[in-house]
A and B are shown apart, each in its own frame.
Chain A
């Protein structure tokens, strides 16, 4: 046997030490904190403080005693419940938009042609824009006074629709309220969340399109040809041939995007700041508020982070299983 058995251990050891130190350590430490009261406002240095006030229902005698208090608190914390809700809807909207728009782009650019090739090259560029910058630039473009997207949306979408509504209202029995032309996107509960998802979609749809382009390229062109000869039109080909063939890839991409959406943080900080009135406070953002901005409550933040870990684990396990199956 020419390969020596101890060699791989020497090779993986340095990397493993660093990986374990930077992933296992925080996981264990956060787990530990999550069962303790650890509030930075009260403990400048790490010191476990147990509620010792009279009347506190929690038994707190020994430093090694654990408390479920942070977890029970979480599920009665309306702000945390709100963040679960916000994250859920954000995930649904952003995953839906990203996958659908990504699929649309992929089907269009995948055909041969110069403009198609150019577009395929351009697809990489939103990836170069950091999430923090994405949030700022969308916030700027959506400003109700000088935002270009606000201007375009009002002039090209809302005004024409209102014109139609106005015409329809001349008809008897029809009375539709026109859309508010002075909408302030990021001050509206629904639109703020939607636009947050839209900024995320802008970054992800092109990448998802690239993933689909790769998958479409590996489908035998003869299948499409056969469908065309059999008289199927474009829509039929898309829904009856392309979509079923892409299903496994769509599933993987959806899971991957969902994992990233559940961890949404950067743009919330730079685009909406969680507002209006917590309407865009995702789980990650709320944990940051609890741990570092509002409360400095490390114990509670750790518990919330662990709840997020548990949610993500479900998706991650499915995804990892898929990846390993491909090996």
Chain B
């Protein structure tokens, strides 16, 4: 009589043990599938970028790695070698260094202009109660959902006729920087405001009591404290303008940023995938590291604090 329940208990434990292990195994499989889903396209792009030409048009994974694709996309020689055959195969130098410079200058300048403006504005929105404060904030939030095309059309029309330093704004870095502001500046204001809001205002109060004026409090008390937040917002702003495509296509035009330059990797055999992959790695690599840096802020950044 006493033995029977003991056997039952052991059986339950054994089946429970198997059940738990099967569950764990399924979980590991699911995790590996998720990792494959996330990382595979990136892995494959990286792999293709170091494939020799004849392997790029296959799914082979065994090949001798080469940096020739990177060499080609940056080269300014029209044809690298074997004029006849290589031209046909598309080994035409892509001269992408100016494109990289365009991307760096446009994104860099966008950040350098937007962030200081956004910072002082965000501070005012957070710390002062002035007429229109809330209405303006709602407008700033709403602009984030404007389709870029509705901004691009009038600026395209305008920039065709406006000249700066003897060159039309259409197809210039300055033109693209201006249009980028429509997207980056409201975003940066909203984001930095979030960081200022999170800052306790006791220290500022103390500074006011000690006789500091508004600007002294802003520049010597608050700004140093909110610096990490400003850095995060800057990284976000940089990624946004670096990855921006529609404005770069319509307003940037012949002044190609790297995103648009990706489209120039085509030739007689359509898109030259090994070159596209190499250019793609150049586009992606800096953002990879920046993305790791803002990992913890991405959710707040994208949802503007709607998901907490």
Contacts and interface: CB of A to CB of B under 8 A. Distances in A.
Given A121-B295, A259-B145, A108 B27 contact: yes
A90 interface: no
Given A18-B181, A323-B141, A136 B262 contact: yes
Contacts of A19: 139-140, 143, 181-182, 185-186, 189
A148 B56 CA distance: 11
A288 B178 contact: no
Contacts of A210: 298-299
Nearest to A105: B34
A202 B245 CA distance: 18
Interface stretch (A2-10, A71-79, A188-196, A223-231): A2-10
Contact of A27 (B41, B146, B243): B146
Given A18-B181, A214-B307, A3 B128 contact: yes
Interface stretch (A53-61, A127-135, A158-166, A171-179): A127-135
A140 B271 contact: yes
A146 interface: yes
A179 to B, nearest CB: 20
Nearest to B302: A207
Contacts of A319: 145, 306
Given A25-B154, A105-B34, A15 B121 contact: yes
Interface stretch (B65-73, B82-90, B94-102, B156-164): B156-164
A127 B57 contact: no
A218 B299 CA distance: 14
B31 A323 contact: no
Interface of A is mostly: helix
A308 interface: yes
B307 A253 contact: yes
A130 B146 contact: no
Interface in A232-274: 234, 249, 252-253, 256, 259, 262-263, 265-266, 269-270
B18 interface: no
B306 A265 contact: no
Interface of B is mostly: helix
A11 B153 CA distance: 30
A127 B291 contact: yes
Given A108-B27, A126-B38, A316-B142, A263 B136 contact: no
Contact of A128 (B150, B179, B284, B303): B284
A278 to B, nearest CB: 18
19 contacts: A8-B128, A9-B124, A11-B128, A19-B139, A22-B185, A30-B150, A45-B161, A130-B245, A131-B245, A137-B280, A145-B57, A263-B147, A265-B245, A291-B156, A292-B250, A301-B149, A305-B150, A309-B146, A320-B145
Interface of A: 2-5, 7-9, 11-12, 14-16, 18-19, 22-23, 25-27, 29-30, 33, 38, 45-46, 104-105, 108-109, 111, 115-116, 118-119, 121-134, 136-141, 145-148, 151, 202, 205-207, 210-211, 214-215, 218, 234, 249, 252-253, 256, 259, 262-263, 265-266, 269-270, 284, 287-288, 291-292, 298, 301-302, 305-306, 308-309, 312-313, 315-317, 319-320, 322-324, 326
Interface of B: 23, 27-28, 30-31, 34-35, 37-39, 41-42, 44-45, 48, 56-59, 117-118, 120-121, 123-125, 127-128, 130, 133, 136, 138-158, 161, 178-179, 181-182, 185-186, 189, 208, 213-215, 218, 239, 242-243, 245-246, 249-250, 259-260, 262-263, 271, 273, 276-277, 280, 283-284, 287-288, 290-292, 295, 298-299, 302-308
Given A8-B124, A26-B153, A320-B142, 18 more contacts: A3-B208, A14-B121, A29-B158, A108-B30, A123-B38, A128-B284, A128-B290, A131-B245, A132-B243, A138-B41, A140-B271, A146-B58, A210-B298, A252-B306, A288-B249, A298-B157, A305-B153, A320-B138
Q: Which 3 pairs, one residue from A and one from B, show the smallest C-beta to C-beta distance?
A: A22-B182, A29-B154, A15-B121
